[in-house]
Structures are given as C-alpha cells and as structure tokens.
A and B are shown apart, each in its own frame.
Chain A
Amino acid sequence: MDFSFLSDDRYDFLGAFWMNVQLTFWSAIGALILGTVLAAMRVSPVPLMRATSTVYVNVVRNIPLTVIIIMMSQVLYTQLGVQLATRGERGFLATNNFRLAVLGFVLYTACFVAEAIRSGINTVPPGQAEAARAIGLRFTQVLWLIVLPQAFRSVIAPLANVLIALIKNTTIASAIGVAEAALLMNTLVENEADKYMAVFLTIAVGFIILTLPVGLLLGWVAKKAAVKR
C-alpha cells in the first residue's frame, strides 16, 4: 500500500489529530461539569429541577449529533448571531467554529455523562446519604461530600466509554469546517483517490491510538478506585 501522502507537506496529520484532541479535551471537561449538574438535579428534592433535567436529557440525547453540531453553526451563529470569538481577530471563523463545536459536544455528551453518574448514584446505598443527613449535612453537602465521591468511583468505567465515544464523535466537527482528522480525510479522499485503503487505515489507526490508552488507563483507574464495602 502507498502511504506516501504521510510525508506530503500539504497534509498536516498531527495538526488534524491534535484538533480532535483539543475538541475532546474541552468538550470532556464541559460535559463532565454539565453532566454532573444534570445528575445532581435529577436526584434533587426539588421537583422542578428533577423534571428539567429529565426532559433535557431525554430530548438532547435523542437528537443526532450531526444535527446538533450543524444547528450550532446554522442556528446559533448564522441565524441568532451568537459568536464565541471576537470578530475581526485573526482566524475568527476557525475559532468560532471550534467553540461552537465544543458547545455542541458538551450539550450532547453531558446527557450520557448525567445518565452514567445517575446510575453511579444509584449504586451508593441509601444509608450513606441518610447517615450524612443525620449528622446535619445539607443536601448539597450530602451530594458533594458523600454521594458523588462514591458514585464517581463506580462510574469511571462507563465514563470511559462516554469519553471514547466523544473522541470519535469529534469527527463530526468537520461538518462545520473544523480542521480535524475527518476533514483531512475528506480532502485526502478527493486528492488521493487511488489510495483509499491507505487513507482510511491511517485515520482509523490514528483514532485507535487515541482511544485505546484511554480505555486501558481508565479501566485500571476504575479497578483501583472501587469503593470497598
């Protein structure tokens, strides 16, 4: 197979995959925060919060990610004029698209994070929260000090799956022109039509290199962190 395109200066493989890494990094942080908030709302004693979280999760996770990402660009930016970068600055469009994509990934991935954490919360025996309430801790303290730390330990493995899915999902950012690996692949497919097989292999191996260590590392962490009862 001919992999000569790898040394072709026109194609910046490292740069493209680096873009996926950056998309993943910021989206993962955002999704973890929003997902935790959604999960906390889901178990809160306030019915309105529970309902809001339930509706959000059930609506957003059922919209195809491609639709969400394109909506970020077409609806949020083009129609509503929401800008996430300063217009006129160098690379405005690239930065704006990158941030819109991250926002889309956060909104979407948070649903899966919330569901994972919620199932984790369910593994914490109710007696833990009860004992915490009995010594006078308030709801937020019970959640933050007692329930979530135990829940997180049991959701590391499911969260690893969410993260791996997110890494692969970042390829959808190409739909709004973010210069990541899948966009590069499209370019290659056009320019190097005779090397399909090699192009696909390169991109696939690139993603495996990104995802495999994540799964292995977090699998190991999950074992270490398990709460002994």
Chain B
Amino acid sequence: MSSPASVPDRPAAELNLGEQVTINKPATTSDTRGGADSSVMIGMYDVQKHFGDLHVLKDINLQVPSGQVVVVLGPSGSGKSTLCRTINRLEPIDSGRIEIDGVELPAEGKALARLRADVGMVFQSFNLFAHKTILDNVTLGPIKVKGMRKAEADKLGMQLLERVGIASQRDKLPAQLSGGQQQRVAIARALAMQPKVMLFDEPTSALDPEMVQEVLDVMTSLAKEGMTMLVVTHEMGFARRAADRVLFMSDGEIVEDAEPDAFFDNPQSNRAKDFLGKILSH
C-alpha cells in the first residue's frame, strides 16, 4: 500500500480531504504492544501550546494509566481547559506528541474524527444539541460516526439515559431540562461512543448548587467502573473521594502531581499552598 507520510500539522483544519491522512505512528494493537507503556491511556510528551505570545502549555509531560481518575486543579487561566482540549485536539498543539491508548492523534481528517470518538468530552456549558431531542443527542454519534442502526442506537441510548437517571425525558428538548439533567445527558452522549477516556472540563461549575451532587454521583460511579478520567473541577470533595491523582497547574505548567490526600494535606509548592488557601477559606 502506498500510504504517503504524515500530513502537515495544519491548525484548525477539520475538513475531510480524503483518505490520504494517516496516523503518524504505526498503529499498534494492545496485544502486539505489551511492555511497560501498554497501560498508558493518555500520553502527553513535551507538549507546547501558545495563543499568540501567551505560552499556555509549557512542556507538558503526562502519562495517565488506564483506569486512573485524575483531577486537575489550578487557578483561572492556568491552562486547565486548554490541556483538556488538546487531548482530543479541539485545540491543536504547537509541538510535542499526544497519544490515546498508544496511538498518536492524527493531524486532521477522518482518522482524527475516528480517534476523537475514543475520547469523550463533557463541557462546562453542557453543549447539548439544542435542536435535537434528548435521545437523539445521545444516538447521533453512534449512528453518524459509527454507522450503528437506529434501532440499536436507540436501545443503547435508552440504556445510557436510564443509567444517568433521565430516561423519562427522552423526547424533550435540552432547553426543557434542568442544568443538572442536561449535564447528565451530556455524559450519556459521550458514553454512547464507548470512549476509552472521558474528559470533564468543570462539569459542575455552571450548575445550581443543588444539582452538583447528581452529576458528581454519575461521575463517581463511572470512576468506580474503571473509566480513565481527566477531570478539571473545583469540587474538592470529589477530588478527595474519587480521584487517584491530583495535578496542580499554574501558568501552563504541571506544578504538582500527587495523590489527593498528599496534595491536600501537604502541598509542596507555594503556588499550590496559595491556591488551596484561597479555595478552602470559603
């Protein structure tokens, strides 16, 4: 097969330009791969990212083993969202390498779209498709990306809606649901793609306080089932209870990387102490 070399890294190029897009690294399957890195689900190597002059991700190196739940903390503007968004390439990086389950993210096109389906993402503002019913929100990906039959997708969709406790709302539009319900639908929508990794960018920050717990409960149960998760959140309770690991970011760097109890009880850097002081004092 005459497959051309990798396609140049073009920012924001999402249009499918044909089949000539290849994954940069030979795709390895889990049974041929073996070795120490076989369990690394998210791998970031020397990742750099700028917005103009602003250096938002500085030399990020991060390996998240399969099944680990990582909470990312840090002050506003420290690059937490950007970190999240580069992992499924909603935001292109300047240099470095990002791998999901050992496969490097392709630059663009069909291959990228396919790999993205392996990475579920939940946004602060839910972003449910406003013109589609709750069930259609969940089934759209399986039908259009995976080519699943509608009947099968509906069945899967209902299972997931039941699991997040909103099956009875299936025919409503997103705007008719509360924020907490919408966010649970958004989680179901991401899960419908059977992702290997779930990214959460402040999933409860836009919610009324009484709705935070219902979303955290869904996330906690996901974590218990062994989903690999990277969660940006200010919910310290969740971080302590559900996380295996806490990353503290500041100015585009991962400043601390520790187990939750170690981080909260005994932060090493001044920046983390500062941050915790502010967060915990109110």
Contact = CB atoms under 8 A, between A and B. Distances in A.
Interface of A: 44-46, 125, 127-128, 130-142, 145-146, 149-150, 153, 227-229
A135 B189 contact: yes
Interface of B: 10, 12-16, 88, 90, 109-110, 113-117, 119-121, 123, 125, 127-131, 140-141, 144-145, 173, 175-176, 186, 189-190, 192-193
13 contacts: A45-B13, A130-B123, A131-B128, A132-B129, A134-B116, A136-B193, A137-B140, A138-B109, A139-B15, A145-B144, A146-B129, A227-B130, A229-B130
Contacts of A150: 130-131
Contacts of A130: 90, 123, 127
Nearest to B17: A46
B130 A135 contact: no
Most-contacted residue by chain B among A44, A137, A146 (CB, 10 A): A137
A127 B125 contact: yes
B193 A139 contact: no
Given A127-B127, A141-B144, 9 more contacts: A46-B15, A125-B127, A128-B127, A128-B130, A130-B90, A131-B128, A134-B116, A134-B120, A138-B14
A46 B18 CA distance: 14
B123 A131 contact: yes
The 10 A-B pairs at the shortest CB distance, nearest first, are namely A136-B117, A131-B127, A127-B127, A135-B141, A228-B175, A134-B121, A136-B145, A139-B14, A139-B15, A136-B116
Given A127-B125, A131-B123, A136-B113, A145 B140 contact: yes
A178 B172 CA distance: 51
A229 B175 contact: yes
A131 B13 contact: no
Nearest to B175: A228
Contacts of B117: 135-136
A60 to B, nearest CB: 24
Contacts of B10: 45
A138 B18 CA distance: 11
A37 B125 CA distance: 30
Contacts of A229: 130, 175
Nearest to A142: B14
Nearest to A126: B127
A145 B137 CA distance: 11
A50 to B, nearest CB: 11
B262 to A, nearest CB: 32
Contacts of A127: 123, 125, 127
Contact of A134 (B13, B90, B109): B90
B38 to A, nearest CB: 24
Nearest to B12: A45
A125 B131 CA distance: 12
Most-contacted residue by chain A among B115, B140, B173 (CB, 10 A): B140
A129 to B, nearest CB: 9
A137 B144 contact: yes
Contacts of B186: 131
